[in-house]
Structure formats: C-alpha cells, structure tokens
Amino acid sequence: MNYELTIIVPLYNEEENLLRVEEELKKYLKIALKKTCVLFVNDGSSDNSLKLVEEICRKNTDFHFISFEENQGLSAAIKAGFDYSKTPLTGYIDSDLQTDPEDFNLLLKEIGEYALVTGVRTDRKDSFVKNLSSKIANGIRRSFTHDGMDDTGCPLKVIKTDYAKRIPMFKGLHRFLPAMIMLQNGKTKQVPVRHYPRIAGKAKFHLMNRLVGPLLDCFAYLWMKKKYINYNVTKRDE
C-alpha cells in the first residue's frame, strides 16, 4: 500500500476505549498528510481488548495488530512497534486518546530535518497531583539528559524509523526517546498539541512510578550514554 507512516497504539486493558480509538483513527487516516497505517500492540491484556482489536483489524485494511503472550510494559510495547514498523516514519499515540490523532499532522509538518518530533501537552487536563508529579519527573530527567524537552511523557510522537530501530531498549524507554535520538546525533523538536481528560479506562501510572521510576532510569541512561556506540558508514564495497 506504499504506507509512509505507521501509528503504534500500545494498549493494556483498554476495552472501554478501543471502539472510540477505531473511529478517531479512521477519521485521521482520511486527512493524514502521509499514507498511514495503524499497528495495535496488545500488551497481554486480560480483558476483552484483544478480541476487539481483532474485530477492528478485520474490518479495516489499514489496521493491524500484534499481541504479547503476557504483560510486558509500555516500553516493550513501543519497542515491538518499532521492530514491526515497515514505514519510513513511525508515530505513537496512547489508547486513552488524551491526545488527538489529528495533531499528528502538526508533527509531520515539522519532521523534515528532525529525527523525532514530539508533542508537548498544552493546558493539561490531568489532576493536580498527576501534573505536579510529571513536572517533577521531567525536571529530574532534564537534569540528567540535558535533552531540552518539557514533556517527554506526551503520548504523541513521530520518529524516523531508522533511528527508532537503533534505539537501545530498556524498561522506562518511553521517558527517554528524545535523549536516545540525541545519542545518535539526531535532531529533536517539540510542538504544542491538544490534551483531553481520560474519559474511560484506568490510568496505568501513579505517583510512585512517575517519580521513583524516572529517577532510577536516569542512572541507567547515564551508564548507557557512557557505553553507547554510534557510527556512520561513509563508504563500503558494493
């Protein structure tokens, strides 16, 4: 189908959201700036999510899925999406639809010279505690990575797939995508996007794993940065 963009949709126990996800993504595919397909990554859901995803993909030729045997976490789901993406660009959006698929076009307009363009949520509709913990976590991460990003947790991103496939993977990866691109000497940019309250399903992150997890992951990032191998081949024997 000559797709140019694959949108990864990681999900874990999101049966209440999936039909809305289907409708919103179908609407986006009609106005997308690039020929786009959707890849659901079912992270070992224990509810009815997999059955719904299978039905959605049967009805829509631009929708596909992979499913884990058991729950592995968000970073693993994103990693699998990168691994299975076959298009030059790969996007990412959460299945809670707190960001708008239409805003992918805002990111696509900027992707040209950049390896990654990420959304930054404006006028966030989360609780005070969630907003505060995210702000603290972002501050901790910036102090370690110097990535200049205000909102790496924003679940709306577009990344050039060749960069995505070279990212060394570990749990907590989703917080460090811009920093991982910078290790490859790739350029990153953030663009304001809309944000909405969660209207169905349950949030998978809480105060402790928004603060303690990012702090521990920062030390893992520093170790990786010190050991990271990056090279560019300038000439080869054909």
At residue 146, the 3 state secondary structure works out as: coil
Model confidence pLDDT, tens digit, residues 44-68: 999 999 999 999 999 999 999 999 9
Q: What is the mean pLDDT of the chain?
A: 86
- Residue at 218 is within a domain: yes
Contact 188, 154 (CB under 8 A): no
Model confidence pLDDT, tens digit, residues 73-127: 999 999 999 999 999 999 999 999 999 999 999 999 999 999 999 999 887 655 5
Domain count, the chain: 1
- Residue at 237 is within a domain: no
- Residue at 60 is within a domain: yes
Residue 20 has pLDDT above 90, yes or no: yes
- Residue at 221 is within a domain: yes
Burial class for 123, CB neighbours closer than 10 Å (0-12, 13-18, 19+) = exposed
At residue 92, the 3 state secondary structure works out as: strand
Nearest to 104 by CA among 193, 200, 20: 193
Domain that holds residue 93: 5-227
Nearest to 219 by CA among 163, 152, 144, 159: 144
Residue 141 has pLDDT above 90, yes or no: no
- Residue at 219 is within a domain: yes
Reported pTM: 0.82
Residue 222 has pLDDT above 70, yes or no: yes
- Residue at 32 is within a domain: yes
| pLDDT (mean) for 156-161 | 97
Q: Count of CB atoms within 10 A of residue 189's CB?
A: 18
- Residue at 238 is within a domain: no
CATH number for the domain including 65? 3.90.550.10
- Residue at 132 is within a domain: yes
Min mean pLDDT across 126-130, 139-143, 195-199, 228-232 is at 126-130
Nearest to 75 by CA among 191, 206, 197, 214: 214
